[in-house]
Amino acid sequence: MCGIAGILAYDPKAASVQRAEVEAMSARMRPRGPDGDGLWTADDGRVALAHRRLAIIDPDPRSAQPMVSHNGALRITFNGEIYNHRDLRAELEAQGHVFRTTSDTEVLLALYAQLGIDMVTRLRGMFAFGLWDQARHRLVLARDGYGIKPLYYANVHGTIRFASQVKALLASGGVSRERDPAGLVGLCLWGTVPEPLTAYSAIKALPAGSVLTVERDQVRLEPRFFSVAASLAGAPSLPAGQAPQELVREALVETVRYHLVADVPVGSFLSAGVDSSCLLGLMAELAPAPPTTATVGFDEFRGSDHDEVPLATQVAHRYGAQHHVRRVTRDEFNRDLPAILDAMDQPSLDGVNTWFASKAIAELGIKVAVSGLGGDELFGGYPSFRDVPRWAKWPRPVRRVPALGILARQVLAEWLDRTHWASPKLAGMAELGGAFEGAYLLRRGVFMPWELERIMPRELATLGLRNLDMLAEARACLTPDPGSDFARVAALEASLYMRNQLLRDTDWASMAHSIEVRVPLVDTHLLAQVAPLLMGPQRIEGKTWMAASPTPPLPTAIAERPKTGFATPVRAWLEQSSCLDQWKRVETLRHPKTHWSRRLVYALVARELSEG
């Protein structure tokens, strides 16, 4: 895992690239690559590429980046891992390609030379890269299908800048810090800034599963090469006689085997949940040595359902892992909070759990950790799989009458505000229910659109809502129609909540500790393999299938444990912290049913506005 950055002055009228600017971008990402750094600038001063290296595959200096092709025509700066790079290397060698390293980076250069930008469809892994094609005078930016690895860019006055982090682009000094109202509104609605927006008007995220090319003076966002909805919609029927349990076991074994490809030891984040426990069991079968695992515990949770330690320790012993328990205290949280906020690339109400899990695994000298992230989105582990289809259907008669839903919401919202009888979300059922995208906003939303004027200036809220069509973005995640209620929720969860929050927070929180996190359950090939199960008439028992996949299967205490999610006592700790002063100033949110997440989002928005 690494940090990448680059600048291309593609307009002849644009100023030449300044080396100091690229160096500043790279320096801001130092924790992403403690094992080396590289910088290349073209002789004509029009393009530069930078790289921060965390050496995982072929750690030898020969694989340093930016890497150049044999003939000097191609250069690349790459962040991620290509798990099928050995398969691709064998194909390319059979066609006459000669390799100087055993890295996946060199495979990317050879594959591009062979296929051009179509090469992205052959890659299994997580990736974001910038590739300079000297012969075509073309810059290629690409990002993996799920969006596991981040890639941001700013196209200003004939110069395009890109980097792994928003804050790296800001460090260049060539990008405006003007806040984006739509990004801040998105933060209020979802608890995170939805892609392709960022908190800054000039900076955009390259959409997951996309390629952007800059050729001569033409900037083009190519058609997406992957979407979760399309993968589900195109799923074949389950083969006759194929047992779901057998299919899931084979698919999970394959994805874990690929995600263990590394030239350094691979550890594991271990909770008391099915997802991480299942992956550990399969790692124990496939890895050459017992895996190293880390579980984070909190004294505040001892003896409660939120305490992950006892069951995680039981699972670790079952599969012979070298297990470590890391206790985190309130004092440590208070000491770390300034660093957490600094590392947080964009405002988010999540990520603290991954911060401490990554810190724990880094203290053990491990560079790579497997995470169970993605299992709930794939196999229906969230209440949204039950609630969203139901909410998408029952209010439909109200929606048939124009403006009736809005009127009902206005009346009910005013009444709820006076009586404090129930959650403010209830008022939006008539307006937003009756469609999957609206029901999903009700289920996942932090604030509702009509509440925004209470937490930000009215003109900012109005402008942000005008520029952010949150329902249209959600509908786009359902195009083409995935084909079943389960698949529709799976597409929404993977394309919105997981991508915008879980994956992004995992990236910044882990890279702050120079840890690469691998997510075997977030894999385009795995999705294609299990998609027939998500589309068919049979009952979907994904977590049961997962629990039975390792040998031996997971203990009953894990397999039948109700989902609690990985929790931290953040709410209580924030009450004692002075780092987020806005947390304590929520005069506009006196509703007794105000959830702590709403208070935290309010604090984050207030912090962004005060800094802007």
Tokens of 509: 């929180």
The stretch 364-391 carries a mean pLDDT of 96
Residue type, 493: E
pLDDT at 417: 66
Question: What was the pLDDT predicted at 431?
Answer: 79
Query: Virtual CA dihedral for 479, 485, 486, 489, nearest 10 degrees?
Result: 50
Is the pLDDT at 242 greater than 90? The verdict is: no
Per-residue pLDDT averaged across 80-87, rounded?
Answer: 98
Report all structural domains of the chain as residue ranges with CATH numbers, in order of start: 2-226 (3.60.20.10), 230-381+490-579 (3.40.50.620), 384-483 (no CATH)
Calpha distance 220→217 (Å, rounded) = 10
Preceding peptide of 347 cis, ω within 30°: no
Mean pLDDT of the chain: 91
Q: For strands 74-82 and 368-370, give the pairing.
A: unpaired
Q: What is the pLDDT of residues 291-348, one digit of tens each?
A: 999 999 998 888 887 889 999 999 999 999 999 999 999 999 989 999 999 999 999 9
Tell me the C-alpha to C-alpha distance, in Å, between residue 255 and each of 83, 260, 484. Answer: 9, 9, 25
pLDDT > 90? residue 455: no
Nearest to 301 by CA among 606, 592, 570: 570
- pLDDT per residue over 130-186, tens digit each? 999 999 999 999 999 999 999 999 999 999 999 999 999 999 999 999 999 999 999
Name the nearest CA neighbour of 503 among 195, 73, 81. 195
Q: Which range (205-209, 239-243, 483-487) has the least confidence? A: 239-243
Q: Token digits for 286?
A: 């496939």
Residue 362: pLDDT band (50, 70, 90) is very high
Q: Other C-beta atoms within 10 Å of 343: how many?
A: 19
Q: How far is CA 252 from CA 549, 550, 558, 568, in A?
A: 8, 9, 18, 29
Nearest Cα neighbor of 426 from 395, 465, 458, 464 is 395
**Cβ neighbours, 10 Å, residue 610:** 9
CA distance 286 to 257: 7
Side-chain-side CA neighbours of 77 within 13 Å: the count stands at: 30
* 3-state SS class at 80: strand
User: In the prediction, which pLDDT does 410 show?
Assistant: 65
The first and second tokens of residue 86, run together, are: 């050995």
Rounded Cα distance between 52 and 68, Å, is: 16
Chain center to CA of 413: 33
Considering only the C-alpha atoms of the chain, give the largest distance between any 2 of them, rounded to a whole number of Å: 75
**Residue 43 in contact with residue 56, Cβ under 8 Å?**
no
Closest residue by Cα to residue 591 from 421, 410, 455, 449: 421
Task: Please give the pLDDT value at position 588.
Answer: 46
Report pLDDT for 592. Answer: 47
Give the up-direction half-sphere exposure of residue 389: CA atoms within 13 A in the CB hemisphere.
Answer: 14
What is residue 106's three-state secondary structure?
Answer: helix
At 596, the amino acid letter reads W
- Give the bridge partners for 412, in sequence order: none
State residue 562's pLDDT score.
Answer: 76
Whether the per-residue pLDDT at 87 is higher than 50: the answer is yes
Token pair 């900037």 is found at 219
C-alpha to C-alpha distances, 148 to 145, 344, 362, 546, nearest whole angstrom: 8, 16, 20, 22
